[in-house]
Structures are given as structure tokens and as C-alpha cells.
Structure 1
Amino acid sequence: MEIIVDDLSGPEIAAFLEEHIRDMRAVSPPESKHALDLEGLRTAEITFWTLWHDEMIAGCCALKQLDDRHGEIKSMRTSGALRRQGIAARLLDHLIREAGMRGYGRLSLETGAMDFFEPARRLYRKFGFEPCGPFATYKEDPNSVFFTKVLPRDCG
């Protein structure tokens, strides 16, 4: 398995993210959907990675720079066929290390409050993320849960 920076130009990632958007639409009301499409991910402040296994995308993740010391996790997803095989943990570990190498002191994220997102919330808690209030441009939302993690200076 290999994690690579993805330029979001291939048909594989387009299809993978379209499935992600469909899932988010199915479980989140429109006003609470924060998943980014291809165009939303193609911004200077976002770095996007894919994890490949046997020549197919096993998962993806993105890191958005909020400011010089604060990053946000975006677009964490594992292929449905490969869930519960450590893909998400590997991606999350990658994001935490990358944030540390960038000198971030904090890493935050928004995820859903619905049962569908419970495995993700468990994973974030396992990695030391703690519940917090809305950050950046987010607002209080009964369908959203916010987490943050203070990063040690030597986590990179």
C-alpha cells in the first residue's frame, strides 16, 4: 500500500469522490453536508492524498491549512470493499504526521453526528482527538460533531 499526493485529475479519484458525495447526501441534510467535491478540493490550501492497494484506490484524505498553526482534516474515506482493514487508521496517522511536519499545533475536523459516522468518531477518539466547538467557518449544527487534537512539537 502506498499513500501519494493526488492531483485530482484521474477518473479513479473522480469516481471515488462521487461515491463519497452520494453517501454524504444520503445521510446528511443539504445544510449539514460539508464534503467537498473535486473543485472544492482543488484549492491552494488543500493537499489531497490517495492510498492505493492492488492498483485501486483504497482510501483518501486531505489536509486543509486554516492558518500557520491549524489544519483541518477533510475528505477521509475508505473504500467500502476494504473497510475494517486499517486503511483509515493509516491515513489518519499520515495526516497527523504531515500536520506535525508543517508545524501545526492543532488539527481539527468536522464529521457527522448520525450513526453512519460512529466508526469515524471512534477512530478519531482512539487517535486522541477530543470533542470541541465549531472552528473556522463552521456553525453549531445538530448534525455535526467537531473534534480537535493538540499536536506535540515532535509529532512530525
Structure 2
Amino acid sequence: MKIRIDDLRGPEIHALLEEHLRHMHELSPPESVHALDLDKLRQPEITFWTIWEGEQLLGCGALKQLSPTEGEIKSMRTPTALRGKGAARAILNHILEQARARGLTRLSLETGSQPEFEPARRLYASAGFKFCGPFADYAEDPYSAFMTRQL
């Protein structure tokens, strides 16, 4: 598996992010969907990575710089058909390494609270994330689970 910074221009990543947004809207009301579209992922405070096995896209994830010491994980996704290959853990570990290298001391995330998000919550918990309240611009939401960890 190879992880690289992605410019969000390839058809593979477009398809994966469309799947991601579609799935989020199937599970949550519009006001509770915090997934970013292509334009919002191209902001200067966001670094976006993809993970590949040869020519096959296995997943993606992003790091949003919230402040000089805090960051947020965004857009973690593996294609439904390719889950279970370790790509999510690999991209999460990469984001953690990059956050530490940037001098961040806290990394947080928002994910769904519904049963469909249980595998994601287990992955984050296994990497040391603990449940917390809303952070940054988020508000309490019954469809959201917030997690954070010190680096």
C-alpha cells in the first residue's frame, strides 16, 4: 500500500467521495452531514491523502489544521467493496504521524452515532481516541459522535 498527497482531480477519488457523501446523506439528515465536498477539501488548511494498492484506490483521509496545536480528521473513507484490507488503519496512522510531525498536540474528529458507524468508532478507539463533546464549530447533534486524543 502506498499513501500519497492527492490533488482531488482523479476520477477514482471523485467516485469515492461521491459514494461517501451519498452514504452520509442516506444515514443522516442534511443538517447533520459534516462530510466535505471536493471544493471544501481543497482549502489550504486541509491536506488530503489517498491510499493505493497498485492502480486501485483503497481509501482516503484528510487532516484539517484547526489551530497551531489542534487538528481534525476529515473524510476518512474506504470503498465499501474494499473494506477489511487495513487501508483505514494505515491512513489513520499516517494522519497521526503527520499531525505529530506538524507539532499538533490534539487531534479530534466527528463521526456518526448510528450503528452503521460502529466500525469507525472502534477503529478510532483502538488508536487512542476517546469520546468528547463538540469541538471547533460543531454543536451537540444526536447524529454525531465526537472523539479526541492527545498526541
**Distance (Å, rounded) in 2 between the aligned partners of 1:87 and 1:11:** 19
- Letter aligned with residue 123 of structure 1: L
**Distance (Å, rounded) in 2 between the aligned partners of 1:111 and 1:51:** 20
**Distance (Å, rounded) in 2 between the aligned partners of 1:55 and 1:11:** 12
**Distance (Å, rounded) in 2 between the aligned partners of 1:86 and 1:10:** 22
Match of 2:138 in 1: 138
**What TM-score do you get using the length of structure 2 for normalisation?**
0.98
Q: Which runs of 4+ in 1 moved over 2 A?
A: none
Match of 1:106 in 2: 106
Match of 2:95 in 1: 95
Q: 3-state DSSP class of the match of 2:66?
A: strand
* Displacement of 1:54: 2.8
Match of 1:60 in 2: 60
For residues 45-88 of structure 1, what are the alpha-carbon distances to aligned partners after superposition, in whole Å with 9 as ceiling and x for unaligned?
00000001130210000000000000000000012122122111
Match of 2:3 in 1: 3
**Distance (Å, rounded) in 2 between the aligned partners of 1:42 and 1:85:** 27
**Distance (Å, rounded) in 2 between the aligned partners of 1:3 and 1:96:** 13
Which ranges of structure 2 fall in alignment gaps of 5 or more residues?
none
Match of 1:123 in 2: 123
**Distance (Å, rounded) in 2 between the aligned partners of 1:85 and 1:6:** 20
Q: 3-state DSSP class of the match of 1:81?
A: helix
| Percent of residue pairs bearing the same amino acid type | 60
**What TM-score do you get using the length of structure 1 for normalisation?**
0.95
**Distance (Å, rounded) in 2 between the aligned partners of 1:23 and 1:103:** 33
**Distance (Å, rounded) in 1 between the aligned partners of 2:100 and 2:81:** 30
For residues 60-117 of structure 1, what are the alpha-carbon distances to aligned partners after superposition, in whole Å with 9 as ceiling and x for unaligned?
0000000000000000001212212211111110010000000000000000000110
* Displacement of 1:9: 1.2
**Distance (Å, rounded) in 2 between the aligned partners of 1:89 and 1:12:** 20
Q: 3-state DSSP class of the match of 2:123?
A: helix
In angstroms, what is the RMSD of aligned CA positions? Answer: 0.7
Which ranges of structure 1 fall in alignment gaps of 5 or more residues?
152-156
1:72 aligns with 2:72: yes
Q: 3-state DSSP class of the match of 1:84?
A: coil
